[in-house]
Amino acid sequence: MSIKTAVNLYIVSTMSDSGKTAIVSALLRVLSRRSLHVTPFKAQNMSLNSYPSIEGGEIALAQAMQAYVAGLMPSVHHNPILIKPMTSDRAEYIILGKPRAQLSFNEYLNDDAIRHLAINAVKSSIRRLKDEFDLVVGEGAGSAYEPNLASRDLANFRPAEWLDAGVFVVLDIDRGGSFIQGLGLIKSLPPGWRKLVKGFIINKFRGDEKLLSTAIKWLEKKTGKPVLGVLPYVDDLWLWPEDSMDLRPIGNGPLNIALIAYPYISNFNDVYPLILEDDVTVRIVRDPRELGDPHLIILPGSKNVVASLDWMRRTGMDKELARIRGSAVILGICGGFQAMGKLLSDPYGVEAGIPGDYRGLGFVDTNTIYGIDKVVSLSRAVGLRGELENVGIRGYEIHRGVPQYAGDEPLIMITERNGKTTKQLDGVLREKELIVGITLHDSLGDPNFRSFVLNMARELAGLPRRNSSASSSIELLLSQVDRLASIIEDKLDIDFMVNDN
């Protein structure tokens, strides 16, 4: 690739879920292969799925994924503002990795102190990334331009302007109206931001590209902006998810696994390593009538465990889980583990929004105490019981809740957090009742833990025990991105994008 003067890139769209995250990931992979020192960047992300950064802060899972794709460790500067919804009208605002406030969106937009902090965080991250890397590949959020939010934009054109980036607009043709949306965006933008747009990328096309030639010429003539390529619809790609819109079933094997998709579900990428197991079927269960009689039930993480428990009681999911208790393996991960306990004590209201004590499902004899400080770490642990005794396990932690044991014994000892030695008892195992709890996210990405849980379910199902693939969740991720990178390298004019035209 011949580069005269490399320019930073900013990928935006006219809507959410158009494929921006996947395209940025693939571009990072392609450009890093071409000996460019590249980095991801998303100024502001709203997501319940998060990940620890190398500094010990919290960023969106999608930007952590993009960092690994670029050959980097995730940093708070890859995503300086993370918004994690707590209720329908309030969210936790995490700036440069640290929780700063719990506000409504209107309060966030109008609170001068928090806005000043957020703007400075975005600008300082941009300065740092520009200094340290050959090229920054940024990603916008949602719709790139909304007239009611434009003056307070911290996600799309304003950070692209600060980054001196060329902006490329992704048009999701699968959902229709993409050419009109592209024209509408260009016509709506203020002249200064309109100049930043260098072209369009048509995404998720099914069929013969020749059918689009007339429409492409129309859009280019109307806007004066080129179409850089048409990307096909890829429906079997498994990248780390941005939000619950990415929830989908896995596999078609005899091992029946039910993932309970309650409100505020978070970090459900925990189940993605099950893609490596050819004998599993993972179903997404949103209604107790859909539960059936699985061999394994997974209670995933939740940003608001109290609200998720309330939903389970309102819908009758708690009764269905109680019915099947003892006849299916039940695995609770982080918030799911907390939900299985007897009591959740939230004296500061940091989990539920309102201080109080809340009743869990009562499946295990543990209580959870929520503190002000949040544990955010890449962690290592060692098993204490059963087949996991003295077995090393890796994962990550993002939680305020700490387990208190009121009768059950811990499953593991967390021995390391962000490279520092620690000793924290965690998890639970009730072998006779087939119940497993653990706080470590991505524990199913660890082959030892994955084999342990799945073999419990296989024995129940009358299936042969087996050792899990040795591939890690990151190795699985890279293999998926490589597939998309090959497509993008073939279909997209990347040389045009990165050269200062």
Reduce the secondary structure of 333-395 to three states and give it as a string: ECHHHHHCCCEEEECCCCCCCCCEEEECCCCCCEEEEEEEEEEEEEEEEEECCHHHECCEEEE
What is the pLDDT, as a whole number, of residue 244? 61
Give CA 330 to chain center in angstroms. Answer: 23
> Tokens 């930043």 belong to which residue?
196
Is residue 119 within 8 A of residue 43, CB to CB? The reply is no
The three-state secondary structure class of 8 is strand
Nearest 5°: phi and psi at 432?
A: -65, -35
Around Cβ 325, how many Cβ atoms within 10 Å? 17
What is the DSSP code string of 184-246?
A: HHHHHS-HHHHHHEEEEEEEEE-S-GGGGHHHHHHHHHHHS--EEEEEEP--S-----SSGGG
CB 234 within 8 A of CB 487: yes
The sign of the CA dihedral 233, 239, 244, 248 is positive
H/E stretch holding 421 reads: strand 420-426
Q: What is the pLDDT of residue 2?
A: 47
Half-sphere exposure for 100 (CA within 13 Å, toward CB): 20
Q: Is-same-fold flag (8-238+478-495; 247-464)?
A: yes
Q: Backbone phi, then psi, for 280, in 5-degree steps?
A: -110, 155
The rounded distance, in Å, linking the Cα atoms of 111 and 105 is 10
Instruction: Render each residue's pLDDT in the chain as its tens digit; 501 residues.
Output: 444 557 899 999 999 889 999 999 999 999 999 999 999 999 999 998 999 999 999 999 999 999 999 999 999 999 999 999 988 888 999 999 999 999 998 899 889 999 999 999 999 999 999 999 999 999 999 999 999 988 999 999 999 999 999 999 999 999 989 999 999 999 999 999 999 999 999 999 998 999 999 999 999 999 999 999 999 999 888 888 776 667 889 999 999 999 999 999 999 899 999 999 999 999 999 999 999 999 999 999 999 999 999 999 999 999 999 999 999 999 999 999 999 999 999 999 988 888 999 999 999 999 999 999 999 999 999 999 999 999 999 999 999 999 999 999 999 999 999 999 999 999 999 999 999 999 999 999 999 999 999 999 999 999 999 998 888 888 889 999 999 999 999 999 999 999 876
Active-site amino acid positions: 334, 441
What CATH code is assigned to 247-464? 3.40.50.880
Residues 335 and 301 sit within 8 Å (Cβ to Cβ)? yes
CB 201 within 8 A of CB 231: yes
**In the CATH scheme, what architecture does the domain 8-238+478-495 have?**
3-Layer(aba) Sandwich (3.40)
Handedness of CA 444, 482, 245, 52 (dihedral sign): positive
Domain boundaries, the chain: 8-238+478-495, 247-464
- State residue 5's pLDDT score: 57
Task: Name the H helices within 429-469.
Answer: 447-461
Predicted pLDDT at 247: 81
- 0.85 surpassed by pTM: yes
Q: What is the total residue count of the chain?
A: 501
Bridge-partner residues for 138, per DSSP? 10, 41
188 burial via Cβ count (<10 Å: 0-12, 13-18, 19+): middle
Q: From CA 401, how far away is CA 357, in angstroms rounded? A: 13
